Amino acid sequence: MQSNPYHIFWDLEMLTEILTPEEKTKLTYTERLQMHKPEPDTLEKFVTKIEEELLAIQEDLFASAEMIMAPGDLKSYNEATEY
């Protein structure tokens, strides 16, 4: 079994908005100056893109790959008693 050659990192672009005085009073230990909010269609774009990536990954995984054997691998394979 081969290790997973695919990694997906979710890096959303955020808009910053200045906090209102009411929001600032709800804070406890840290002083926040801005609030990050995703752009309105960010999640839809992400889902669309991840579905496209999934199709490309599935196509790649179903493609046959050439078997690479080191000297002696075929002999070891033929002599194996457990699979």
Using one digit for the tens of pLDDT, what is the confidence trace for 46-74?
A: 899 999 999 998 888 888 878 888 888 88
| Cβ-count burial 54-82 (b if 16+ within 10 Å, e if not) | eeeeeeeeeeeeeeeeeeeeeeeeeeeee
Range of the domain at 35: 14-79
Domain-embedded: residue 5 = no
Residue 32 domain-assigned (yes or no): yes
**pLDDT (tens digit per residue) in 34-49:** 788 877 888 898 899 9
In a domain, 1, yes or no: no
Q: Is residue 7 part of a domain?
A: no
pLDDT score, position 41: 87
4 in a structural domain: no
Please give the tally of structural domains in the chain. 1
